[in-house]
Amino acid sequence: MGNELIVNVKDTSVLNVIAVTELFFVSNGIASTTYQVFQTFTITTVIYLVLTTLLTLLLRFIELKLDKTKTEASSYPSSITDGQNI
């Protein structure tokens, strides 16, 4: 579920779920008004990277908290995992 959200964010370049206006469309309007294309799209790229990085880290944290297999796997006795009883 988290991976699908990240793919949607990266494919649409913005969190459309939260109804934010298209990031690059607004940047294009600002760049055409101010004639500062490089600066506008550099800032837009930084904003985009920060959004996707924070979202990825947040979802990774949530998935680790919800992952029960790591605690279950560590509860097995060492004789089972060593393969000595085979």
SS3 letters across 8-21: HHHHHCCCHHHCCC
36-70 pLDDT, tens per residue? 999 999 998 898 888 878 988 988 898 888 887 66
Alpha helices, DSSP H only, in 1-86? 2-12, 23-34, 37-66, 69-73, 78-82
Average pLDDT, the chain: 75
Tally of residues, the chain: 86
At 76, the pLDDT band (50, 70, 90 cuts) reads: low
pTM, rounded to two decimals: 0.58
